[in-house]
Amino acid sequence: MPQSYSLSSFPLRYHHISGQGCVVALESAVRQERCAQLSCWKAIRNGYASKSEDDGDNATSFLEVFSQKLNAFYRFSRPHTVIGTALVPSILMNIYIVGLNQLFDVEIDKVNKPDLPLASGDLSMGTGTAIVSAALLMSLGMGIISKSPPLVFALLIGGLLGTVYSVEHPFLRWKRHPFLAASCILFVRALVIQLAFFIHTQKYVLGRPIVITKSLLFATAFMCFFSTVIALFKDIPDIDGDRYFGIQSFSVSLGQERVFWLCVQMLLMAYGAAVMVGASASSLPIGKLVTILSHCTLASFLWLRARSIDLSSKASITSFYMFIWKAIILC
């Protein structure tokens, strides 16, 4: 029985015996086979390249998501509110306080502060609740581990007042009442933090006896002015949402302009008192001069900034509010 063979089954050197037509057919078959192999390798190479590109895209996407979540946490923690706070447990407690306020103020913040992560949807309510819970537990845990009663007292009082300030519950939600809201901020920032942290540092960190000094009393009194201003000023740019949701802040009751200039006058009084205390202090002349000049300079900057503020612009008011926070550091 005759047996048939494919042309490609013979070595190339034998095909010339079949004539010129066979040679052409052979060359065509070889080219087709090589093209098929080349196409196969191209497909494999493109597959690996596509996989590498996908891996790169996945890595980029992960970094972008991580960066967005980190930015959302940064905005959620309201970092300007920890200015002047050096203890880690107090920073964590502050995150609990400002985070809890955002959890109960989502609808208000959609009007007043739409860039906050819960209001904008950058963080979910579940994530916000987890952050707040973790911050509270870690703060109290670190306070207990420190074995410092004044530190634990400061954390408990701060957390308690932060809770009654924000939580929607009968007899709570003190932020609805301007006097109670201002009292919470004043008591925590001007009294509890100043005195409790001073005792903690002196006795439980430095091991020194507790001595109430004139500088401590002046710092406490000075922070009373600043804390009151912060309590009043923070509601000035939020007047629209507060009025709509029934938050009777001083800005809603008295008007933005009156509250604004009241805050400016209180700060100028605080700087004036600082100048007088510095001038009468029993220190070297150079120390007195530095104290007087520095507080006069800050008061001048404050006055100039205040005169340039556009009270119809929320951005302008917020910028001045942040200037007040920064001024605390310089004091």
pTM: 0.76
Query: Mean pLDDT across the chain, nearest whole number?
Result: 82
Q: How far are the Cα atoms of 94, 209, 269, 281, 306 from residue 297, in angstroms, in the given order?
A: 31, 36, 14, 19, 14
Distance CA 172, CA 233 (A): 22
Contact 222, 190 (CB under 8 A): no
* Spatial CB neighbours of 132, under 8 Å, sequence gap ≥ 6: 95, 96, 99, 100, 103
Q: What are phi and psi of 231, to 5 degrees?
A: -65, -35
- CA dist 146 → 81, 102, 142, 189, 266 (Å): 24, 29, 6, 21, 37
Nearest to 209 by CA among 219, 196, 195, 199: 199
Of 20-29, 173-182, 210-219, minimum mean pLDDT range: 20-29
Residue type, 217: L
User: With contact defined as beta carbons under 8 Å apart, do 210 and 219 qualify?
Assistant: no
DSSP alpha helices (H): ranges in 115-204? 117-120, 125-146, 149-166, 178-186, 197-199
| % the chain with pLDDT above 70 | 81
Please give the pLDDT value at position 236. 93
Q: What is the model's pLDDT at position 4?
A: 43
The span from the CA of 269 to the CA of 285, in Å, is: 23
Per-residue model confidence (pLDDT) at position 304: 93
Mean pLDDT (whole number) for 88-104: 95
Tens digit of each residue's pLDDT (9 = 90 or more) over 222-239: 889 899 999 999 999 998
- Find out whether 136 and 144 touch, Cβ atoms under 8 Å: no
